[in-house]
Amino acid sequence: MRIVAGKWKGRPLKSPSWEGLRPTSDRLRETLFNILAPSIAGARVLDGYAGTGAIGIEALSRGAAHVTFVEREPRAVKLIDANLAALGAAGLNERAIIRADIMSAAGRLGGEPFDLIIVDPPYGHDAAAQALAAVSPLAGAATRVIVEHGSRFAAPPAVDGLQLRRTVTAGDSALSFYERT
């Protein structure tokens, strides 16, 4: 895994050494950030189900002002820390790591809404809908919410006032883009 673009372009990211964590591929991250390019600079970003931190780190590399990483797996939290440290970003106040599940973290993250919320739950039938419901309270009127899900599982058309606007499919994965109605 490598950072696709921005100030850390080409820098490697550490991958998990255990089963059960499915990092977003470089190709899918590139597709995601090509779509989001105009809205990254200066954005407040939530990287839910952060895993290796690749999504949030890519956002920082491309000019996001702040990234909050949410990950419940302790080994993955250490991996995010290691990836940030390798880039010299470990002590920056432009990012935060919350070790919790997305529901618990969302409950603690009230206040100003995020500009971008990107969630990558484990692929499953209702996973996208559950992730959207969890982060919906953190989405303001102008927030874009993106959920990565298995392409074999259809994205819900709407969840808690978030309306599906677009889905992009790449192999086994899909990115569904939501906005407030």
- Does residue 20 belong to any structural domain of this protein? no
136 lies in some domain = yes
Is residue 13 assigned to a domain? no
| Paired residues of 167 in beta bridges | 176
Asked whether residue 8 is domain-assigned, the answer is no
What is the mean pLDDT for each group of 10 consecutive residues in the chain (181 residues)? 90 78 74 93 95 93 94 92 85 73 89 91 87 95 95 93 95 93 85
Residue closest to 158 by CA, chosen among 129, 120, 124, 138: 129
17 lies in a domain?
Answer: no
- CATH number of the domain residue 172 falls in: 3.40.50.150
Asked, for residue 138, whether it belongs to a domain, the answer is yes
What pLDDT, on a 0 to 100 scale, did the predictor assign at position 18? Answer: 66
**Domain limits for position 49:** 31-180
pTM listed for this prediction: 0.92
**Helix/strand/coil (H/E/C) assignment for every residue in 123-150:** CCCCHHHHHHHHHHHHEEEEEEEEEEEE
Q: Which pLDDT score is estimated for 19?
A: 66
Instruction: Return the structure tokens found at 138.
Output: 């953190």
**86 in any annotated domain:** yes
Helix axes 74-86, 54-61, angle to 10 degrees: 30
Sign for the pseudo-dihedral over CA of 58, 59, 65, 68: negative
Residues written for the chain: 181
Distances (CA, A) of 33 to 3, 27, 81, 85: 11, 10, 22, 23
Q: Give CA–CA dist 27/4, Å, rounded.
A: 8
Asked, for residue 1, whether it belongs to a domain, the answer is no
Model pLDDT, residue 2: 84
Structural domains counted in the chain: 1
